[in-house]
Amino acid sequence: MNTRKGKVYLVGAGPGDPGLVTLKAIDAIAEADCIVYDFLANSSLLEYARKNTEIIYAGKKGGDKTLPQEEINRLIIQRALEGKTVVRLKGGDPFIFGRGGEEAEELAEYDIPFEVIPGVSSATAVPAYAGIPLTHRDLSSSVTIITGQEAPLKERPNIAWDRLSVGRGTLVFVMGWKNLSFIVERLLENGWSPSTPVAVIRWGTLTKQITVTGTLMNICDLVKQKDIKPPVVTVVGDVVALRERLNWFEKKPLFGWRVLVTRAQEQAGELVRVLKRYGAEPVVIPTIKITPPPSWNAIDRAIRRLSTYDWIIFTSVNGVRYFFERLYTLGKDIRDLKGINICTIGPKTEGALRKRGIRVELVPGDYRAEGVIEVLKRKRIRGQRFLLPRAEKAREILPEEIRRLGGRIDVVPVYRTVMPRKEGERIRELLREGRIDCVTFTSSSTVNNLARMLGKKRIKELLSGVCIACIGPITASTVRGLGMDVDIVPQEYTIEAMVEAMAEWRAVPLK
């Protein structure tokens, strides 16, 4: 039996936006043997956990508790007594209406070591994302944070409603959706003006954030009309009026747009980051998976005779990655590229090489095979040898044109794309329910695989009314070949340019 006690981290997961979590919280999650998390803790934070970490969902959604607090306490104590490192992951801050104090008391009772890792509280972050400063030199010099869950029929209420009218600072009610009418009544009874501004913010800091503003007189009716449900944060006070000028988050160009990302999982990160920066909600369901080729024989032969090549052309970041992995596996390194000219398609591929300390001689302005061909036409390449490490299946225009110009080229597969299974029904469901506003395609493979997943006869119907964005004309041509219209093709064939074009397209009013 293990007699060594483990350790418990009471970790604040922040208000919802995973970008607001602390570095210390991420370190604790990565260290944990067991994670017990709540409904309001963004589940994407679990990606930082080790693969063998035990994950337990504790629920606690708007009072509908999957696990009672007593059971949660018992669970974390039990795991800690087994010698495990436990992370209790809680929405917001564990010591601000998070019952972290109760859990800490239980741990202290059993003499179990623990640490508290504070989180950004929804009480402060959510109003900020709604454009409401809780204090303002001219409007409010104090803030009171109040639980909105105190029972209206409680014999001895802990909230001194009469004192809340003193000073008239800003009031922030956390988890107060069920008791909103009761809260309004108590404030009006204790001297607050019916015209006092109020904001109710649902899903604060996330791209599905909804903010309803009104006054103490009409806020209950407005919340009912807008069908606002938990989780919410309610702000009462004159500072709410500043939202009209300071609302920054909900004014992002793609705010609230649900965008389907079809890229391979390992490549989706950049697109996801840019979409979030523009306010969109990325839905990542890859239609392609990057895997090694069936055999390394071709690339191994090419690497062993690298000195015979005049040029290496890299057409993608994946090509760079797999080429160099194989280069190192064979006991070679960048010194073996001495004297070889390097050409890339696109700045991202060039950047992947520069990170490895390799200078790129040629990056055509047109980020396509056609761009490389146009530049090579102006060079004397007859008799020169080219190496093209690329996907197993790709367009043949580049090797065909190099041969036509008198060059000799070895085309070697260093990776291949395959279609993930079991995701088609999930995508169909999202499209049928109208929960996707835009689909992004970054290669012809993503288009063709989605067509296979949805069915070539049904894809046009399922994507009807959905914006289609393609990274470049080749991908767009593949979409049109399936009988569909393309709404967005950026002039520069990059992720950043595509998202910028999406923002411009959305900004144009429908006729």
Active site residues: 38, 60, 175
Long-range contacts of 316-320 (CB under 8 A, 24+ apart): 316/345, 316/346, 316/349, 316/390, 316/391, 317/267, 317/348, 317/349, 317/352, 318/267, 318/290, 318/391, 318/414, 318/415, 319/349, 319/389, 319/390, 319/391, 319/414, 319/415, 320/349, 320/352, 320/353, 320/356
In 3D, which of 203, 415, 402, 383 has the Cα closest to residue 292? Answer: 415
Structure-block tokens of residue 119 = 């989180």
**Helix, strand or coil, per DSSP, at residue 435:** coil
| Residue 378: burial class (beta carbons within 10 Å; 0-12, 13-18, 19+) | exposed
Cβ(9)–Cβ(115) under 8 Å? yes
Residue 321 to residue 329: CA distance in whole angstroms: 12
**Helix, strand or coil, per DSSP, at residue 190:** coil
Q: How far is CA 28 from CA 31, 110, 115, 135, 231, in A?
A: 5, 21, 10, 33, 26
Provide the H-helix boundaries in 337-396: 347-354, 369-377
